[in-house]
Structure 1
Amino acid sequence: MDRRQFLRVTGGALFAGSVGASHRAAAHPGPFEPLGRVDIEGAKEAVCSADGQTAFVAATTGYVTVDISTPDRPTVLAERRNRLSDHDDGPLRGIFDVKLDGDTLLVVGPANPIPGAVSGVLVVDVSDPSDPTEQAFYETDFPIHNCFAADGRAYLTANDGDRNPLVVLDVETGAELGRWSLVSEDSQWAEVGSSVRAIHDVWVHDDVVFIAHWDAGTWMVDVSDPTNPTTLGSISPGDPAELAGLSGRERRRVGRTPPGNHHYVATDDSGDLLGIGIESWALEVERDDGETSDETTTPSTELVGGPGGVELWDVSDPTAPVQRSTIDPPASPDPTLGGVWTTAHNFDFHDSRLYTSWYRGGVKRHDVSDPSDPVELAWWRDPDQTNFWTAQYAYPFADEGVFVASSWGFDDVPGALYTFPDHAGEQLNPPALAPETKTDSLVNTPTETSQSSNGSAPETATSATNAPGFGVGVGAAALGAAGLWYRHRARRED
């Protein structure tokens, strides 16, 4: 199958008959529903402490700590807004991500280029989550959409509009330890538009970094020596020669439609199972409908693409990853960028369970003990009130457990942090996502695949659209602006 070939399927019935499409398990007695919630303005990513008693939430203009030890009554412990307001270019804005390493919280931003705004990493001691202490700020000359914290290091996405590297910092000193760039791996990538090969997110397990590189796929890099990162392998890396030849309009389409759109990555506890979130939508494009009059062709439009799911890959050998299955997204009544988002966003593994968020499509919980046959255990949604950014396991509670999910709000609906029971179940009278499906979706149909150590990729299964993972209305425009912003900063510093 050609890499850009699509198959039409009935709305949302994605990957029917494909490798390991998930199915439902028997329900837990009683309705499945949230245990509690607390409003948080501008809520984005959320992470939990090792003991599961506290959640830390990126809140766009700051960060918030939340006590979730009594899950039916989550309570804000501390709220810090407008940090670095005394900086010449402050405050720190566009905070979409926080990450935790022991008692150290990294707060990063801005997620997207903001002309004239300060950017960097705020290091916070949260050993007392009710009284977080800001210890250092390391200024960068690039925006930071996402990061990872592990073993005293900060791993930063550095979309500078040029090389788009991963940058590794020493958290204690702020010194740069090393960087890895796709352009250094293969100079052909320098000819590819920056937005198409944006580095969107990063995950670290032991000494392996997993990098979600949008239409450049996912890359696995050995950072046992952070001064000399070494590439181990890649998943669905795309063809740089093909991508370099795209026009601006074609880049927009490729960035929003399958295959590609590697948005988020995370491994299970062993590091052998990798999840890849495919964030995508549908895009209206012109077509030739075949009707002619006076030797002229009447143009019309069609929708291509659709919401993306979560791919599960065996990466026990990173030089030869094997796709095991794809968890399909909920069907959307309007899968366009301006419609009802039900595409994959962020997720978490814990003890053979996968917790996923799907924007207005809700949150789900799967059994992935057999990654070739994931089983849906629970699904809860309220599309009029929730717009879920992430789902994260928290801690065992009573006979079950708790997971949390942050909702980033929309229109006049506030952002919030929700707590959920960690068991299977059925939602009572679940609301429809909308009255009817607006259109069919066009997706690729996956087959079980593996990849060679040279990075070449057999055809894989995704459903996708452009880069609103970088913010509504930002996407490629923001990434293109990153280069201008970077050069402006460099000239000012000179």
Structure 2
Amino acid sequence: MKKKVILSTTLACIMAMSAVAPAVFAHDELEVDGVSKGERTVLSNVQVQSLPEASFNGQKKVSSFSEAAAVQISELNGVQNNTADVYAHKGFAYLGTHIANGANGGVRVFDLKDPSDPKEVAVFANDDVPGTWQEKVIVKSVNTPHFKGDLAVVSVQQLNSNADTAGGFLLYDVTDPYNPKKLGFWETYDRTNGTHELYLAQQGDRTLVFASNPYADYYSTAYHEPEERRQKDFQIVDVTNPAEPKTIWEFDPRTLPEIQANPTFNGYHWTDEHGKSRAVFNHSVITDNNAQYAYVSMWDLGTVIFDIKDPENPVYLGRTDYASDQQGSAHSAALAKGGNILIETREVSNPVREGFESSYGYTRIFDIKDKSNPILLSEFKTDLVDNIEDGRTFANTVHDPKVHGNTLYLSHYSGGVYMVDISNPSKPTQIGQYVPAQSDVWGVFVDRNYILASDMGQGLKVLTRGK
């Protein structure tokens, strides 16, 4: 895991002062003002904000949330970490951890046999790579010639990109969730922080990880690495043998017609047809259930859609687009209606930028029956997105989407979890909301009859949906 190249002090200083270096990365920009995504106060003994008489968009609420359980993650070596994303598999919840209190909080496993009393039963991926945080975890049952069982893939990101170790993702056998076993590690380019978000899917007898490695393109290009060491932000990795992950394809945005027509892209910045500077990097990726199509959240390039039936040779199909005055910030995606509807959340945390609308991030819904031509059906805005007087903050922007049937669930930081009826995707209607006191909800996941939420300061929430 040691870095392969040590850059000279002279080169590092040149890069720090270089005109080509982006002054501020879109996803990290709040750190400049001392407001860092993920630095949250760890809370305990909080009360749920009750919304029994609420109405939404002039309509009577038809559903509500009840909190079945709320449990903080345990201290690890005397340190109280905060939570990041949440995933569930076979009656167990898996919570990633973020950067507060020194990171290395690993993945926390909770037994949900009694959803009203979750029990933390294991921790893994916490001490494999020093100085890292483990935000995202995906767990699926796979069956290949090399591995049969429940496989977990965990993102690994460096707190310091100049550290002696690289980020990437870890692979664990969690067939016995009480005793996770490390299988393998895939590294990103040294100068990046690592893999931010990822996805795991089985395609036939192959198991694939789809990795989002923000700024890998920019840094490996700007540091003039030889071609064999340059990496792109979106990579497909074959993990059929989890002990020997192998990169099989990566995406270069320079191949897209719109960027070729206006070739200003430097691995991060691109000037669009309206003359506006846009940030282009891979923040997140999902696939459909059969891993036939990938949906890549490329920030201001929108959600980019690929045919991945041949994962060594994916085919670009199309992407979502924005109005000229709309910040892009394509953060995450979910699918609905058998894969014919795309939900795109946009994490806009700086609501006031010259030349753009004044708004925090909100959700957009597309018809993608023709994946080469996504058609915008509607935009769903919560009651928080217009609170621009709050200044720069992640509290008011939407974060992650999940879909169960005709219901869309949105994690929304201070807004908690929103429940939205998308029976008619052209007219999404808010039908419920869960807001714990001092809410800071990062992730949401639907598990059987329960909705799981991860609050950064408060840990795991288990919610039931009322009628």
The TM-score with structure 1 as length reference comes to 0.66
**1:155 alignment counterpart:** 210
Query: Aligned match of 2:62 in 27, 31, 36?
Result: 27
**1:38 alignment counterpart:** 71
Q: SS in structure 1 opposite 2:254?
A: helix
**1:125 alignment counterpart:** 173
CA RMSD of aligned residues (A): 2.7
**2:112 alignment counterpart:** 68
How far 1:305 sits from its partner (Å)? Answer: 2.4
CA contact (8 A) 1:217 1:238 kept: no
CA contact (8 A) 2:125 2:170 kept: no
How far 1:340 sits from its partner (Å)? Answer: 6.6
**1:191 alignment counterpart:** 265
Q: Which has the higher mean CA deviation after the structures are superposed, 36-45 or 92-101?
A: 92-101
- Alpha-carbon distance in 1 for matches of 2:158, 2:305: 23
How far 1:194 sits from its partner (Å)? Answer: 0.9
CA contact (8 A) 2:300 2:330 kept: yes
- Alpha-carbon distance in 1 for matches of 2:58, 2:250: 41
Query: Aligned match of 2:341 in 250, 260, 273?
Result: 273
Gap change, CA 1:189 and 1:110, over 3 Å in 2: farther
Q: SS in structure 1 opposite 2:364?
A: strand
Deviation string, structure 1 residues 320-358 (Cα, Å, up to 9, x no partner): 211121221232655655447121101211111111111
**1:228 alignment counterpart:** 313
Deviation string, structure 1 residues 129-152 (Cα, Å, up to 9, x no partner): 111111111222241111000011
Gap change, CA 1:113 and 1:229, over 3 Å in 2: farther
Gap change, CA 1:286 and 1:391, over 3 Å in 2: closer
Matching of residue 136 in structure 1 with residue 176 in structure 2: no
How far 1:370 sits from its partner (Å)? Answer: 1.4
Amino acid at match of 1:157: S
- Alpha-carbon distance in 2 for matches of 1:112, 1:228: 33
Q: SS in structure 2 opposite 1:317?
A: coil
How far 1:262 sits from its partner (Å)? Answer: 0.8
Gap change, CA 1:320 and 1:23, over 3 Å in 2: farther
Amino acid at match of 1:417: L
**2:126 alignment counterpart:** 82
Q: SS in structure 2 opposite 1:329?
A: coil
**1:259 alignment counterpart:** 327
Gap change, CA 1:310 and 1:77, over 3 Å in 2: same
CA contact (8 A) 1:25 1:375 kept: no
Q: SS in structure 1 opposite 2:127?
A: coil
CA contact (8 A) 2:348 2:360 kept: yes
CA contact (8 A) 1:72 1:419 kept: yes
Show the 5 A alignment for 1:38-437. 38-40=71-73, 41-49=81-89, 51=90, 53-60=91-98, 61=104, 62-80=106-124, 82-84=126-128, 90-91=129-130, 93-102=132-141, 103-110=150-157, 114-116=161-163, 117-141=165-189, 142=192, 143-151=194-202, 152-159=207-214, 160=216, 161=218, 162=221, 164-171=232-239, 172=241, 173-185=244-256, 186-187=259-260, 188=262, 191=265, 194=268, 196-205=279-288, 206-236=291-321, 258-268=326-336, 270-283=338-351, 305-331=358-384, 333=387, 336=390, 338-339=392-393, 341-384=395-438, 386-395=439-448, 401-409=449-457, 415-424=458-467
How far 1:238 sits from its partner (Å)? Answer: 8.0
- Alpha-carbon distance in 1 for matches of 2:58, 2:286: 27
How far 1:181 sits from its partner (Å)? Answer: 2.0
**2:30 alignment counterpart:** none
CA contact (8 A) 2:352 2:359 kept: no
How far 1:164 sits from its partner (Å)? Answer: 4.0
How far 1:204 sits from its partner (Å)? Answer: 0.6
Q: SS in structure 1 opposite 2:339?
A: coil
How far 1:23 sits from its partner (Å)? Answer: 6.4
Amino acid at match of 1:194: Y
Instruction: Could you tell me which runs of 5 or more consecutive residues in structure 1 were left unpaired when the two chains were aligned.
Output: 1-20, 85-89, 240-256, 288-302, 396-400, 410-414, 425-494
CA contact (8 A) 1:276 1:310 kept: yes
- Alpha-carbon distance in 1 for matches of 2:57, 2:318: 27
How far 1:114 sits from its partner (Å)? Answer: 2.4
Deviation string, structure 1 residues 226-259 (Cα, Å, up to 9, x no partner): 11111011111789xxxxxxxxxxxxxxxxx833
- Alpha-carbon distance in 2 for matches of 1:113, 1:147: 20
- Alpha-carbon distance in 2 for matches of 1:224, 1:279: 30
How far 1:215 sits from its partner (Å)? Answer: 0.9
- Alpha-carbon distance in 1 for matches of 2:263, 2:292: 25
CA contact (8 A) 2:398 2:410 kept: yes
**1:449 alignment counterpart:** none
Instruction: Could you tell me which runs of 5 or more consecutive residues in structure 2 were left unpaired when the two chains were aligned.
Output: 1-55, 74-80, 99-103, 142-149, 222-230, 270-278
CA contact (8 A) 1:111 1:144 kept: no
- Alpha-carbon distance in 2 for matches of 1:183, 1:262: 18
How far 1:92 sits from its partner (Å)? Answer: 5.8
User: Which of structures 1 and 2 has the larger relative contact order (alpha carbons within 8 angstroms, sep 6+)?
Assistant: 1
- Alpha-carbon distance in 1 for matches of 2:170, 2:125: 13
CA contact (8 A) 1:215 1:260 kept: yes
Gap change, CA 1:22 and 1:350, over 3 Å in 2: farther
* Identity %, equivalent residues: 21
- Alpha-carbon distance in 1 for matches of 2:414, 2:119: 24
Aligned length: 352
Amino acid at match of 2:85: E
